C-alpha cells in the first residue's frame, strides 16, 4: 500500500505549490484540486532524473515520498495552509458532480478484472501498458538514461513524448500497487481535477456563468460526437460489439476518436494534457485579469500583480514561472499539445496586450502611466520563459527527433485521405462525420454570439482557440491525421463546448415571445442531445466489455520473456499477434505491427529491414544486430526466418501450445 502515501504526497506537493503562488486567494478545495497535475507531473520528472543515480526501484519511491513531504512542509512554512471553510454553493455542486461523473466514467474502463482490458480500448492502450512494463522490469528499468527513453515497439525506437503517464504508473507498481490500480487512481484524479477546474475556470473567467450551462458544456466535452448513432437502428450494426458510434462505425472509421474509450482513457497522456491546459487557462485568466491593461491607469490599488509592492512583484513572478512550467510539462506527455498551445498562447497575449498598446501609441510614448503595460508583458515573457526552460532543458535530448521518428508536422490538409479517395468537399465531409451538428454550431453559427459579447472575454479565448483549429486543419502530426485530435481537444474543444452552449442560450434569450422561446429551447435541447447521444451509446455498450490483455495461450511465453530474457534483448515475431506477449514484458521487438507503429509515431529503422532481409537469406548470420536474440513463431504460419532443425545459430527454448520461441545462440559472442 505504499502507493497510497505516494499519491497523498504528490497531491499535497501540488497543493503546497498552488497555495504558495496564490497565497490562499481561493477556497481550500480549489487550491488542493488545482495542484493535482502539477504535483503528478513535477513528481514524475523529479523521479525520472533522480533515477539516473537511484534507479527505478521501491527504495527510490520511498525516498521520493520523503522528498515530496519535505518540500511540501517547506512551502507550507513559507505560506501557511489556508483554513478550511465551507465551500460556496456552486463549488459544492461542482465538487459533487465532478466526483460522481469522473468515478462513473473511469472505474469500469480502467479498474477491470485482473489480466484483462476494455476490449475497445485495447489497441490504443497497448502502448501505455508496454511502456509501463518497460519501466518496471523491461528495457527502461533500473537506472534511467537522462538523454533517452527507449520504446519497445521497434529497433532503435526512442520516445520523444507520450511516456510521462507510463512512468507515473510504474511508480505506483514499484509502490506495491496492482496494474489496474496504477491505471485507475491517477486517471480518476486527473479526470476529477479536469472536470472541477473546467467548471470553476469557465465560471471565473466569465465564459459561462450559469451552473447548469457549465455542467452541460462539461458533459458535451466528454461525449461529443457526430451522427454515428443512426447506425444503431440497423440490426447488423447494433449487434456488432466493436462499434462505438463515434470512431468505429463498422464500414469505416472517422478521424475523431471516441472521447472516452479512445482519446482520454486509452491514450492516457491526453488526460494529463487537458489537465495541464485547463490549469494554464486558469492561470492565464488570473495573470491577465490582474495585469495593468485590465485596470484603470489611474487606479491606486496595490493588489494587482506587478503593480505595487515588491512582494506583489515576487508573487507575480512565481505565478509566471509556474505557468511556464505547466506549459513545459506538456512535452513528456504530448509534444503535439506543446506546439499547438504555443499558437494559442501567442495569439492570446497579442489580443490582451498588443491591440491595446497599438491603440494607445501616443500614451505609450508620452505617458508614464502606460509604460507598465509593456513592463508587465516583458516580465511575463521572462519569468514564464524561465519556468518553461526549467522543464524543457532536461527534456531537450529526449524530445529530439530520432531516425525512427515519423515526420512530426507535415503540411497536409486534415482531410487529405478523403480527397485521395475521390471525396469532394472533404473539409465539410470530415467534420460532418466527426462532430455533426456540433461542428456546424461551433465553427459557423457561433460567431453571432462571439462577436456580440461586449466585454470581449469570450472573444479573447475563442479567437486563439479557433486559430489552432484552423492550423490543425492544415497540418498533420506524425504522418497520421487521426492524431490531430491531440491539438483539437485541448486547444479548441475546451472552449468550443462553451461556445456551443452559449450560442443556443443567446438565441433563446433573443426571443421575447414565450411560445416561440419554448420551441427554441426544445430545439436546442434536441440538438444538444444529437451531439452527445452517439458517444453515450458507444460508452454504455462497451464500458463492460473485457478481453484478456494477452493473446490466448500466450501466458507462458509472456512469463518466459519477463523472467528469462535480457531486458535489452530484441525479438523477431512471425506475425502481429505474437509481438504482444513480448511487448507486454517490456522487451523490444524488431518491428511492431503497422497500426501500433503509426499510432506511436514511429517508422521502421533502415537497419531493421536490412537485418530481417539478411536473416531470411542466412539465418546463421552471427553479425546482424547482436542484441537480436529471439524469434517467436506461431505454428500455423510459415517461418519468416528459417530457424528450424539443423540451424547452427538458433535453438528452441520454449514451446507452449501454438507458440515456439527460438534463441539465437551466438548473439552475444
**What pLDDT digit, counting tens, does each position of 247-294 carry?**
999 888 999 999 999 999 999 999 999 999 999 999 999 888 765 544
Instruction: Provide the 10 A C-beta neighbour count for residue 489.
Output: 25
Spatial neighbors of 75 by CB under 8 A, at least 6 apart, are 16, 17, 19, 20
| pLDDT tens for each residue of 429-448 | 999 999 999 999 999 999 98
Range name among 33-42, 534-543, 614-623 with the lowest pLDDT average: 614-623
Residue-wise pLDDT tens digits, 593-603 = 899 999 999 99
> For residue 326, what is its C-alpha cell?
505547466
Could you report the per-residue pLDDT of 131-160, keeping only the tens digit for each? Answer: 999 999 999 999 999 999 999 999 999 999
Q: In degrees rounded to 5, what are phi and psi of residue 447?
A: -65, -20
643 falls in which pLDDT band (50, 70, 90)? confident
User: What are the start-end ranges of the H helices in 205-303?
Assistant: 211-223, 235-239, 269-289
Q: What share of the chain is helix, strand, coil (3-state, %, to 5)?
A: 60, 5, 30
Among 640, 634, 632, 594, residue whose Cα is nearest residue 614: 640
Angle, helices 179-204 vs 89-110, to 10°: value is 150
**Sequence spans of domains, the chain:** 3-202, 215-268+415-542, 271-399, 555-583+605-664
Task: Give the model's pLDDT for residue 624.
Answer: 85
pLDDT computed for residue 608 by the predictor: 86
Q: Which DSSP helix (H) or strand (E) runs through 195?
A: helix 179-204
pTM: 0.93
Indicate the burial class of 297 (C-beta count within 10 angstroms; 0-12, 13-18, 19 or more).
Answer: middle
Average pLDDT of the residues of the chain:
89
Write down the number of H helices and E strands in the chain: 28, 9
Q: Which residue is listed with cell 482490458?
A: 117
Q: Please return the burial class of 662, using the count of CB atoms within 10 Å of its CB with bins 0-12, 13-18 and 19+.
A: buried
C-alpha cell at 30: 480549489
pLDDT for 513 beyond 70? yes
- The pLDDT value given to residue 354: 67
Q: Report which of residues 150 and 516 the model is more confident about.
A: 150
Q: Which of 602, 342, 281, 323 is nearest to 471 (CA)?
A: 342
Amino acid at each position: 500500500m505504499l502507493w497510497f502515501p505516494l499519491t497523498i504526497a504528490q497531491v499535497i506537493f501540488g497543493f503546497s505549490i498552488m497555495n504558495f503562488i496564490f497565497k490562499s486567494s481561493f477556497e481550500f478545495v480549489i487550491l488542493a484540486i488545482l495542484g493535482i497535475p502539477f504535483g503528478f507531473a513535477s513528481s514524475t520528472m523529479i523521479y525520472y532524473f533522480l533515477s539516473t543515480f537511484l534507479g527505478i526501484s521501491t527504495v527510490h519511491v520511498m525516498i521520493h515520498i520523503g522528498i515530496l513531504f519535505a518540500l511540501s512542509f517547506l512551502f507550507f512554512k513559507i505560506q501557511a495552509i489556508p483554513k478550511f471553510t465551507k465551500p460556496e454553493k456552486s463549488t459544492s455542486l461542482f465538487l459533487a458532480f465532478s466526483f460522481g461523473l469522473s468515478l462513473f466514467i473511469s472505474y469500469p474502463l480502467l479498474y477491470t478484472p485482473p489480466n484483462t482490458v476494455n476490449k475497445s480500448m485495447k489497441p490504443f492502450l497497448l502502448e501505455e501498458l508496454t511502456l509501463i512494463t518497460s519501466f518496471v522490469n523491461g528495457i527502461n528499468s533500473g537506472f534511467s538514461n537522462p538523454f533517452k527513453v527507449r520504446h519497445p515497439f521497434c529497433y532503435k525506437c526512442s520516445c520523444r513524448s507520450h511516456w510521462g503517464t507510463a512512468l507515473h504508473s510504474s511508480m505506483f507498481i514499484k509502490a506495491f500497487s496492482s496494474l489496474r490500480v496504477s491505471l485507475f487512481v491517477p486517471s480518476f484524479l486527473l479526470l476529477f481535477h479536469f472536470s472541477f477546474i473546467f467548471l470553476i475556470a469557465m465560471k471565473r473567467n466569465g465564459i459561462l456563468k450559469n451552473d447548469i450551462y457549465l455542467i452541460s458544456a462539461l458533459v458535451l466535452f466528454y461525449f461529443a460526437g457526430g451522427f454515428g448513432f443512426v447506425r444503431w437502428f440497423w440490426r447488423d450494426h447494433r449487434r456488432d460489439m466493436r462499434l462505438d458510434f463515434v470512431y468505429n462505425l463498422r464500414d469505416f472509421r472517422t478521424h475523431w476518436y471516441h472521447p472516452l474509450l479512445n482519446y482520454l482513457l486509452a491514450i492516457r497522456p491526453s488526460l494529463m494534457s487537458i489537465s495541464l491546459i485547463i490549469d494554464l487557462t486558469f492561470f492565464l485568466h488570473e495573470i491577465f485579469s490582474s495585469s495593468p491593461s485590465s485596470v484603470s491607469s489611474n487606479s491606486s490599488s496595490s493588489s494587482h500583480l506587478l503593480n505595487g509592492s515588491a512582494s506583489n512583484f515576487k508573487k507575480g513572478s512565481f505565478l509566471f514561472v509556474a505557468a511556464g512550467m505547466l506549459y513545459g510539462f506538456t512535452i513528456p506527455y504530448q509534444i503535439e499539445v506543446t506546439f499547438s498551445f504555443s499558437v494559442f498562447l501567442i495569439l492570446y497575449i497579442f489580443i490582451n496586450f498588443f491591440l491595446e498598446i497599438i491603440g494607445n501609441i501616443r500614451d505609450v510614448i508620452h505617458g508614464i502611466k502606460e509604460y507598465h503595460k509593456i513592463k508587465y508583458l516583458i516580465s511575463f515573457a521572462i519569468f514564464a520563459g524561465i519556468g518553461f526552460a526549467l522543464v524543457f532543458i532536461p527534456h531537450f535530448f529526449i524530445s529530439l527527433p530520432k531516425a525512427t521518428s515519423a515526420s512530426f508536422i507535415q503540411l497536409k490538409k486534415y482531410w487529405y485521405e478523403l480527397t485521395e479517395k475521390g471525396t469532394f468537399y472533404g473539409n465539410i465531409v470530415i467534420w460532418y462525420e466527426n462532430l455533426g451538428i456540433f461542428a456546424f454550431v461551433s465553427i459557423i453559427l457561433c460567431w453571432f454570439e462571439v462577436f456580440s459579447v461586449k466585454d470581449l472575454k469570450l472573444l479573447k479565448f475563442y479567437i486563439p482557440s479557433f486559430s489552432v483549429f484552423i492550423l490543425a486543419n492544415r497540418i498533420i502530426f506524425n504522418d497520421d491525421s487521426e492524431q490531430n485530435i491531440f491539438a483539437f481537444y485541448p486547444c479548441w474543444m475546451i472552449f468550443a463546448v462553451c461556445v456551443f452552449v452559449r450560442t443556443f442560450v443567446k438565441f433563446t434569450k433573443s426571443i421575447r415571445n414565450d411560445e416561440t422561446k419554448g420551441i427554441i429551447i426544445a430545439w436546442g435541447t434536441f440538438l444538444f442531445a444529437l451531439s452527445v447521444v452517439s458517444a453515450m451509446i458507444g460508452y454504455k455498450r462497451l464500458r463492460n466489455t473485457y478481453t484478456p490483455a494477452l493473446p490466448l495461450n500466450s501466458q507462458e511465453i509472456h512469463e518466459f520473456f519477463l523472467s528469462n530474457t535480457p531486458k535489452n534483448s530484441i525479438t523477431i515475431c512471425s506475425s502481429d499477434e505474437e509481438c504482444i506477449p513480448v511487448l507486454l514484458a517490456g522487451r523490444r521487438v524488431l518491428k511492431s505491427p503497422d497500426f501500433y507503429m503509426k499510432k506511436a509515431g514511429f517508422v521502421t529503422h533502415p537497419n531493421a529491414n536490412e537485418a530481417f532481409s539478411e536473416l531470411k537469406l542466412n539465418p546463421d548470420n552471427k553479425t546482424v544486430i547482436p542484441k537480436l536474440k529471439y524469434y517467436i513463431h506461431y505454428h500455423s504460419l510459415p517461418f519468416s526466418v528459417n530457424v528450424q532443425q539443423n540451424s547452427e545459430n538458433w535453438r528452441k527454448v520454449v514451446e507452449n501450445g501454438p507458440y515456439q520461441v527460438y534463441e539465437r545462440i551466438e548473439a552475444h559472442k
